[in-house]
Structure 1
Amino acid sequence: MTQNRAVFVGSYAPKEEEGIHLFQFDQAEGRLKRVGGVAGVANPSFLTVDAARNRVYAVSETGDGAVVSLRYDLEQGTMEEVNRQSTLGADPCYVVVDASGDYLLLVNYSSGSICVYPITAEGAIGSMSDQVQHVGNGVRADRQETPHPHSIKQIPGTSYFLVADLGLDQVVTYELTSDGKLIERSIAHVTPGSGPRHLDFHPEAPYVYVIYELTSEVEVFEIDREQGKLTAVQKLSTLAPGFQGESYCAEITVSASGNVVYGSNRGEDSLAVFTVQHPGELKYAGLVATEGNIPRHFTLVPDAPYILAANQNSDSMLVIRLNPEGMPEATTDRVEVTKPVCLQVL
């Protein structure tokens, strides 16, 4: 097992402050140590890492949105900007690199669009190759007055991408062409007012798990890999039985084994845990408190029994040890970070 791993952290920090942080995670001790950071990007909330090119890509979640490429050096603990591009939209909140490494894709939450950019061999972001605009609204006037795409993620082993649109109550399937264009292939219409936010895939079987921000639920869909269509299978609450407060879901992640699904609750301030009876059926197995306020994002550490969770409103990151069955067992470390939003483990 690799002793140490690099962890990149995005946050809601002003341009003048170091908003992208580099930590080292000691897997033997379950401890985080900050080794560097970089300023110059306003609200670098969501990140994705391109290890092949030593690049981290960050959105600048502002009204005049941007996406930034940064070169990192793990030995020196440094990051420096390579270049940036406008997102031609407001509040980009999610960014990924496609499986080929040729394209960067992101969503603009407030202006309701999806963007595609080519990536150069040196890891710079090229000029936008496509932008798709969502239109319409949902049933909740307070949160669904316009389209709000919140995430985009590639269906493994295909050229299809799923976009969860919180404002439209839709999960839209797009195909990414070889010249960097998006073609709509299918739309899954979910329960009105649910607000699909993030999603993750079973590592082997053709299933995707979608978490709903507004109703605190997770829904299981079977994937038609040939056409990218989704078929609803099961839906469960993420909240503990009897919980009476206000809570909104955020992140969802599937374990590498495919045996456990985790989802974060902001308000209950917990990680809900579901055991996978088979890929199309989940069972609520309990929760673990994140010991902080508003766990916006979390990640599993590859090949190590830990979850790292970001508590946005209490300025902390928590390390949680997992038992062999993937159930949360104990807290091993806590570090302070101002308004952490996204964690990416290299």
Structure 2
Amino acid sequence: MATLSVAALSPEQSRDSTFAYVGSRTTTARDGQGRGIEVFSIAADGDTWTPLQTVELDNPTYLVADHTRRYLYAVHGDFTYISAYRIEPRTGLLTELGRQDTGGRNPAHLAVDPTNRFLVVANHSSGSVATLPLLADGRLGPVAHLLSLPGSPGPHRTEQTGCKPHHVPFSPDGRFVVVPDKGLDRIFTLTLDGASGALAFGTRPWEATREMTGPRHIAFHPILPYAYTIDELRSTVTTYGWDTRSGDLASRQIQSSTAPSMTGDSRGGEIAVSPDGRFVYASNRSGAGDGTPGGPDPDTIGVFKVSARDGTLTPVEWTSSEGLRPRFFCLSPDGRRLYAANERSHTIVGFHIDRASGRLARAGEVARTGSPVCVLLL
């Protein structure tokens, strides 16, 4: 690992700053043009990003912080390990603490359990979910448990060759780990033993989706018992009822994540619910998967209004992401901004969110950085 510090903040800037950690694709196999983890300081206006540090490493494709916000963890896509880092609270800069094997290949997502004792990881290419203990000094212990997910692959000949978990978030109350599996057309509900780190299937182990849906990521409503998936292969958004006691999901509605005028190939990317629960946002990536170039026109972010009565969605608009392949986007904690990471056009673009309508208005390019695929705001 090589570290390059680009800039330093004054004490006044440090006190007022939000830090952005941007993960990227770096390898030739993924046509990566990133360098690793880029650290930025975000000014109070939310639209001015100042580069602070580059941590050079391979494919840090998803990032998460522990609940104390003192440590950061990165999966390395297409590899077999996770890296751990200490976050310097005043400057936001990273110091590496070491690596740990995930027990599988191509870790795609990770999450910290509510007690801050375990990290849960989706091994996308080897079809397993792993847990690793978080040590007191921020380092990672060896794999505590490895769970394989059962089922038959879906009908897509190239994208559904086996089990492919892509997301392992915890439910809002922290009782369940919910795992959309792109390869099996299933969404699994797991429980985590807080003492041992062992995973187990819930009372209803999975919800089956429509075939060749390819559920990718799931987002929960912050208040009401609903959840929403972005479905990669069909470019749809599915609304689910969520039983908070049993962890059961029940599908209620399927909406296209793309505009009616979109007639070409597309893949769903990311999904998020606004902090007030009134809107759902979903990103769309043109082309038939990562091996195609996408475009030529910019991709889109779909905006949907949530019904307070039954959680179903009504389209509001589709807004250009101002770039190609928004594999990831995130909302600011106050719900006033959306940041889209355009992987193939190498930009992070900011949008102001209208709190009444949910509509997006471009705020401008906030960062130009190679192959961004994840943005973590702290």
Which TM-score band (shorter chain)?
over 0.9
Query: In structure 2, what is the equivalent of residue 96 of structure 1?
Result: 111
* Residues in 1 aligned to 2:153 and 2:134: alpha-carbon distance in whole angstroms: 33
Following TM superposition, where does structure 1 have runs of at least 4 consecutive aligned residues deviating by more than 6 angstroms? none
**Please, what TM-score do these two structures have when normalized by structure 2?**
0.87
Task: Pick from 186, 189, 197 the counterpart of residue 180 of structure 1.
Answer: 197
| Pair 1:258-2:274 in alignment | no
CA deviations 1:61-84 (Å, max 9, x no partner) are: 12x410111112253342121121
| Pair 1:277-2:307 in alignment | yes
Shift of 1:342: 0.4
CA deviations 1:151-176 (Å, max 9, x no partner) are: 11111114211000000000000010
C-alpha change, 1:303 and 1:29, in structure 2 (3 Å) is closer
C-alpha change, 1:144 and 1:17, in structure 2 (3 Å) is closer
User: How many equivalent pairs are there?
Assistant: 343
Contact 1:222 1:230 in 2 (8 A): yes
Contact 2:181 2:187 in 1 (8 A): yes
Shift of 1:188: 0.2
Equivalent residues in 2 for 1:289-308 (5 A)?
A: 289-303=320-334, 305-308=336-339
Q: For 1:150, what is the secondary structure of its paired residue?
A: coil
What is the letter of the counterpart of residue 166 of structure 1? K
Query: In structure 2, what is the equivalent of residue 147 of structure 1?
Result: 163
Shift of 1:333: 3.0
Shift of 1:3: 5.1
* Residues in 1 aligned to 2:46 and 2:375: alpha-carbon distance in whole angstroms: 19
| Pair 1:232-2:254 in alignment | no
C-alpha change, 1:221 and 1:82, in structure 2 (3 Å) is same
| Pair 1:10-2:23 in alignment | yes
Contact 1:36 1:77 in 2 (8 A): no
More strand by share: 1
C-alpha change, 1:6 and 1:174, in structure 2 (3 Å) is same
* Residues in 2 aligned to 1:225 and 1:116: alpha-carbon distance in whole angstroms: 23
What is the letter of the counterpart of residue 200 of structure 1? A
Contact 1:196 1:210 in 2 (8 A): yes
Query: In structure 2, what is the equivalent of residue 243 of structure 1?
Result: 262
* Residues in 2 aligned to 1:82 and 1:31: alpha-carbon distance in whole angstroms: 30
C-alpha change, 1:286 and 1:134, in structure 2 (3 Å) is same
Query: In structure 1, what is the equivalent of residue 365 of structure 2?
Result: 333
Gaps of 5+ in 2: 1-14, 287-297
Shift of 1:121: 1.7
Query: In structure 1, what is the equivalent of residue 50 of structure 2?
Result: 33
Gaps of 5+ in 1: none
Q: For 1:6, what is the secondary structure of its paired residue?
A: strand
What is the letter of the counterpart of residue 88 of structure 2? D
* Residues in 2 aligned to 1:312 and 1:17: alpha-carbon distance in whole angstroms: 9
Contact 2:24 2:34 in 1 (8 A): no
Query: In structure 2, what is the equivalent of residue 82 of structure 1?
Result: 97
Task: Pick from 175, 184, 202 the counterpart of residue 221 of structure 2.
Answer: 202
Contact 1:27 1:304 in 2 (8 A): no
C-alpha change, 1:9 and 1:29, in structure 2 (3 Å) is closer
Contact 1:321 1:332 in 2 (8 A): no
Shift of 1:17: 7.3
* Residues in 2 aligned to 1:33 and 1:221: alpha-carbon distance in whole angstroms: 39
What is the letter of the counterpart of residue 132 of structure 1? L
What is the letter of the counterpart of residue 261 of structure 2? G
